[in-house]
Amino acid sequence: MQTISFYYLRKADPVGPESASEASEASEASEASEDGMRTTLNLDDEALEAAMAVSPGMTKTAVINEALRQYARRRRLGSYRSLRGRFQWEGSLDDLRQREPGPR
């Protein structure tokens, strides 16, 4: 198991700390900069090596970020499965295949 510490960027909170003690805790938690928070992850060495092997030229950070984006995308798309069979489509695939593409 490999432990990696990294900083992640977060969007500014729309609501600030409620008290001076919360402001103090927030400033202590942000070790690197005001824009990032330090996070420590325990990663499976074999999983990280496998991901790096199929991602030539990418940094560990880029590989992890890409994995997180893909995970979130798959979970979002998976939620659409519950809609399968609930809609009736009327149309012709042949007509759709023969139409001229419109401007994007």
Domain boundaries, the chain: 2-73
pLDDT in tens, 35-94: 567 788 888 999 999 999 999 999 998 999 999 999 999 998 888 888 888 888 888 888
Q: Token match 């139409």: residue?
A: 99
pLDDT for the residue 83: 85
pLDDT of residue 74: 92
Does the pTM exceed 0.95?
no
Q: What angle do CA 89, 95, 99 make, to 5 degrees?
A: 120
